A and B are shown apart, each in its own frame.
Chain A
Amino acid sequence: MRRLRFLIQKEFIQIFRNKALLPMMTLLPIIQLIILSNAASNEVKDVRIAVVDHDQSELSRALSNKIVANDRFSLLAAPFNKKEALDLMQLDEVDIVLEVPHDFEKQLYRGEAPQLQTLVNAINGQQATVGSGYLNGIIGSLNKEIRRSEPLFFSGLPKHNEPVVVTSNNWYNPELDYPHFMAPGILAELTALLTIVLTAMNTVREREIGTIEQINVTPIKKWEFILGKLVPFLCLGLVLLTVGLIASKLIFDIPIRGNIGLIFAYAVVNLICVLGFGLLISNFAETQQQAIFVAFFFVLIFVLMCGLFTPIDSMPKWAQYATIPNPLAHFISVSRKVLLKGSGLADIKMEFVYTIILALLFNAAAVWSYKKQE
């Protein structure tokens, strides 16, 4: 145990003496938080639409006006035939073409159900689905308005034509504030990512310089060496998390509904887990280049499959299972649950269990694969 103290002391001296590390651990995360939290939004703000109005009736114009009045849409053109509109889509000038048929108004007042056609450019899937969702909403509300404004006329119609009214409330993030949703996730991602890369690089650097050989020729125990790397970087990770939380609170005013101690308790477990992973990588890398390459391979998978940008629930089944050994997925889940929802320990029990198992696995593998002798 005494040896461990010297290892940790040495590591801290090196960390504090490294001029590049401190700004890296404070400034970079804040910058990333600001950029990513604002940019990585699923909101679709500017849907470009072309309306082909074959009807040219009062009703069809009311529909157009309603679309224009909505600030998510910008009416780019109102061509007279569909081909023109499709050409615009081909040129990527518009995202959605709405076609209003002849006799739209007439059919409606006759009590028939007129059909509107929307053609959606689905190259950008997000834009397409969300955009057409908004459009359906607008059409639906127009529908309701008409019925309300002419109750006598429509009262004679069969009951089933009455639209079902679905109202939804956004719980835990009532204003659908994207930074509120993204910031806790990005915070978790950043903490894990930086610590994986830093440990992997640090240990491989010792291999490159040759100091690791000097360590290997001492009677030091393998677990002592691994723990000697783990503890300082765990502290570093917690500092990073603290800085990030403060920045998120100050900049985005993210809600902190749950127990902040719970976040830190979980973060300790999670950091031990990812640090073990970083150390595992470093054991198989001869150079820092190799280490960073392998680290990035996994970090990319971890980040893209952690539920930060795409919800885990909408992944295929196999991919959902693949998130279980992904420490990032659990970290993000915990930070969102605790910060936004105010979840307690019981609600994040599974995340704790999975992460502890992963932490044990990764660290055992790191100790095992660290070779003092070739």
Chain B
Amino acid sequence: MFFWTYPIKQETMPNTKVIQVAGLTKQFGDFVAVDHISFEVEKGEIFGFLGANGAGKTTAMRMLTGLSKPSSGKGKVAGFDVLKESERIKERIGYMSQKFSLYEDLTVKENIRFYGGIYGLSRNQIGTKTSQILEELQLSEVGTKPVRSLPLGWKQRLAFAVSMVHEPEIVFLDEPTGGVDPNVRRQFWEAIYQAAELGRTIFVTTHYMDEAEYCDRISIMVSGKIKALDSPENLKKQFKASSMDQVFLKLAR
């Protein structure tokens, strides 16, 4: 139950596959947003989810996080069934949505305290987490400022840190670097690497092809289906391309 008391590195699960999905489908009326996707993600992996706008990335991610009920197919996230145990999954995952989702009228500290509290952290744990996040992000000086007053890049990094306040096994990031400058994007990816080094699995959607290169493995979605899934190097070989950009263009065509 009190998952945050276990060190993340400890093998709490029998197998190392933290996400297993088979034939997962989401239909809105006649429209099939996600069409029988199947894949597995290893623990500690940085798994990139690529695709054009409307390819079904966000919908797929929402099914994995328990925000959206799959129409058919099955899946396990952090050892729990996607269809039946979505509330248990939520204890073990972090999520950063496309929309900025911290409270703009609360201060940095208040946001950390709120989400920490919602995830069931004790006062002490919240206190430790707060100083840890403020220090890591060098936000100590603006800790009592409303989040509204921070620049977008800082907000995004704070949102990422807050999504991991309860030390989840898997973090889902939905286009986390949308609209931020290259410098912040680099910082952001450094933070992602740091989290992965701690044994945390990162599931990230993006449409920046250079970011795709940073992932351990990537899947490329085209109109609801996974068209390719491998490491960036293998994909480039497979499609005889020099960059992910070219791979993507060949697939999307």
Contact = CB atoms under 8 A, between A and B. Distances in A.
Contact of B93 (A6, A216, A217, A374): A217
Interface string B93-116: 101010111111110001001110
B69 interface: yes
A3 interface: yes
A198 to B, nearest CB: 16
Contact of A210 (B88, B97, B115): B97
Contacts of A7: 118
Given A209-B99, A217-B95, A373-B86, A3 B117 contact: yes
Nearest to B166: A218
Question: Is the interface on chain B under 10, 10 to 19, 20 to 34, or 35 or more residues?
Answer: 20 to 34
A185 to B, nearest CB: 35
Interface in A62-113: none
Interface stretch (B6-14, B46-54, B60-68): B60-68
A215 interface: yes
A217 B99 contact: no
Nearest to B28: A374
B103 A6 contact: no
Interface residues of A, number: 25
Interface of B: 62, 65-69, 86-88, 90-91, 93, 95, 97, 99-106, 110, 113-115, 117-120, 146
A18 interface: yes
A216 B68 CA distance: 10
Interface in A16-48: 17-18
Interface of A: 2-3, 5-7, 9-10, 13-14, 17-18, 209-211, 213-220, 372-374
Given A3-B118, A219-B90, A373-B86, A10 B110 contact: yes
A13 B106 contact: yes
Contact of A217 (B65, B102, B117): B65
Given A3-B120, A13-B110, A18 B68 contact: no
Nearest to A222: B87
Contacts of B93: 217
Contacts of A216: 67
A258 B87 CA distance: 49
Contacts of A372: 66-67, 86-87
